[in-house]
Amino acid sequence: MSAASRREPRGQRRAFATVVVFALIVFATILLLSVQSASLSQASAGREALARVRAQWAARAGVEATLARLEAIVDKRETSDAFLALEDSAAVADGELDGSAWRIRAQEGAREVAGAQDAAAKININRATRDQLLAVQPLMGEDQVDAILDWIDEDDDARELGAEIGYYKSQRGGAEPRNGPMRSIAELEVVAGMDALSVRGEDWNLNGMLDPNEDDGDVSWPPDNRDGQLDRAWSGVFTVHSVESSLGKSGEPRLDLASASEAQIGERLGVSAQQAREVFRWAEYRGAELQIADFVAQPLPALARTTAQARRGNRQEVLAASRTPDLSNEQLGNLIDECTIGPAVAQQLLPGRLNLNTCDAKLLETLPGLDPSIADAIVAERASLTNGFGSVANLLEIPEVTRSVLAQMLAFVDVRSSVYVVASKGTDANTGMEVEIVATIDASSLPASIKELHVR
């Protein structure tokens, strides 16, 4: 064998080794680049996660700042100004937190308003009557109204145009009626005859704000008219969040007229011993049928005469009862604002009434017994008051509002609120990352609490 032939395998081996080394270098390079890419991706994800955390904590800080303000108002019993809670929440509508900031806004037409939204500025759908539902704008059909009432009521008997469990079971994937209070406005979307667009309108995420995708025409969902205003459809009319407060205007737990003594009535209402005695006697006489509206619908002397006759009092006793001084508007206001029927804590389980001071004027026309002329008179009086109505009894100062009219309204209206919705948007200063928290704050008793919270 020649020397040349002996060198050839060695050369081949050297060439093969070179190829292997080159392949290893390429592989190592690819591996290194992959590791670097993964590291950069992880670092980016880490920075994004950290930015989101900062933005979320800023949004939560805005919620907590608002909660503290609302709680302080209730605790200090500052109730002379009907708009104080909203104005005070506006004072903490903007803030900073360690490299991030929060911003709290609510939408009113084409403008943004700093601070919280009053839940009681809308009709609580769990308290609404059939006539109210038929009167709202945008209009509902009778079949939709009956379906809503069937969804909420406790029985399984369908109204003429409504729907109960039999209908829903026949639908593919249909939900069963709750047979109790709705827990969210979005729940309306599963009621027979309803759809998401009718419920949400342009406010697709139900945050009460006009977001970019809700004002861009047909560019992105949802459909909108790009007019710079937020059309909230039925979500702008109804709420499920408002509740009755267990606290009176004074900040003390409401007095249960069904179990209160004459002394307690006299002290809380600021009335004479004779007036307190007749209020007590009427409450005792009416028993389970007692209503606060009783004292609004009829003068106290008439109620006193009725109870005296029911006790089979003699002529002198009936005449003496008839001479009981009537409750003044201030005393009547104290009775409305400070008293309840049943334990005070039970009030928080009841759907809230419409706030006369913050609701849209058009919603007043949906109230039972209220024609447009009376609604207009209330709106005109409201506009003349710097601090709003201090008591529902103040409505009696409006000529168009008689005691009979007020008695019909009483179960549906209030002048204070205890539940507020806060849309707090947190932003990370370094990346611009945004997180929004929509929280429902309940200040119907102390300490105030967050009833519902959504993070987006």
- What pLDDT score was predicted for residue 28? 65
Contact criterion met (CB below 8 Å) for 152 and 182: yes
In 3-98, the DSSP E strands lie at 94-96
| Residue 126 neighbours by CB under 8 Å, 6+ apart | 152, 181, 182, 240, 351
Q: Write down the H helix ranges in 254-314.
A: 262-269, 273-286, 294-297, 300-310
Q: Give, for 104, the enclosing helix (H) or strand (E).
A: strand 100-108
Copy the structure tokens of residue 239: 């709420």
pLDDT at position 16 is: 60
User: Contact 427/433 with Cβ under 8 angstroms?
Assistant: yes
Name which of 440, 388, 448, 361 is nearest 87 in CA terms: 388
Question: Exposed, middle or buried, 261 (CB in 10 Å: 0-12/13-18/19+)?
Answer: exposed
- Identify the three-state secondary structure at position 187: helix
Is the Cβ–Cβ distance between 69 and 95 less than 8 Å?
no
CB 398 within 8 Å of CB 377: yes
Read off the tokens for 381.
């009086």
Peptide bond connecting 138 to the previous residue in cis, omega within 30 degrees of 0? yes
φ, ψ of residue 389 in degrees (nearest 5): -70, 130
Spell 364-387 as b/e; 16+ CB within 10 A means b: bbbbeebeeebbebbbebbeeeee
pLDDT of residue 371: 84
As a whole number of angstroms, the distance between CA 374 and CA 395 comes to 10
Residues 119/421, Cβ–Cβ less than 8 Å: yes
CA-CA-CA-CA dihedral for 302, 306, 308, 313, to nearest 10: 120
Tokens representing 324 are 């009981």
Distance CA(389)–CA(381), nearest Å, equals 9
Measure Cα distances from 360 to 265, 331, 421 in Å: 35, 29, 17
Give me the tens of pLDDT residue by residue for the chain, a chain 456 residues long.
444 445 556 666 666 666 666 666 766 667 665 666 655 566 556 788 999 999 999 999 999 999 999 988 887 776 778 889 999 999 999 999 989 999 999 988 788 999 999 999 999 999 999 999 999 988 999 999 999 999 999 999 999 999 999 999 888 777 889 999 999 999 999 999 999 999 999 999 999 999 999 999 989 999 999 999 999 999 999 999 999 998 888 888 999 999 999 999 999 999 999 999 999 999 999 999 999 999 999 999 999 999 999 999 899 999 999 999 999 999 999 999 999 999 988 888 899 999 999 999 999 989 887 888 999 999 999 999 999 999 999 999 999 999 999 999 999 999 999 999 999 999 999 999 999 999 999 988 888 999 999 998
- Within 13 Å and on the Cβ side, how many CA atoms surround 330? 3
- Counting residues of the chain whose pLDDT is more than 70, the rounded percentage is 90
Q: What's the CA gap between 396 and 295, in Å, rounded?
A: 13
403 contacts 302 by C-beta, under 8 angstroms:
no
3-state secondary structure labels for all residues of 137-205: CCCCCHHHHHHHHHHHCCCCCCCCCCCCHHHHHCCCCCCCCCCCCCCCHHHHHHCCCCCHHHHHCCCCC
∠ CA 82-267-296 to the nearest 5 degrees? Answer: 60
- Whether the upstream peptide bond of residue 299 has omega within 30° of 0, thus cis, is no
271 to 109, 261, 333: CA distances (angstroms)? 45, 13, 12
Task: Look at strands 413-414 and 354-355 and give their pairing.
Answer: parallel
Distance, CA of 420 to CA of 245 (rounded, Å): 13
- Do you find a cis peptide bond into 368, omega within 30 degrees of 0? no
Note the pLDDT of residue 442.
Answer: 93
CA 275 to chain centre: 38
Which contiguous run of DSSP H or E holds residue 30? Answer: helix 3-76
Task: Render the burial of 4-42: b for 16+ CB within 10 Å, e for the rest.
Answer: eeeeeeeeeeeeeeeeeeeeeeeeeeeeeeeeeeeeeee
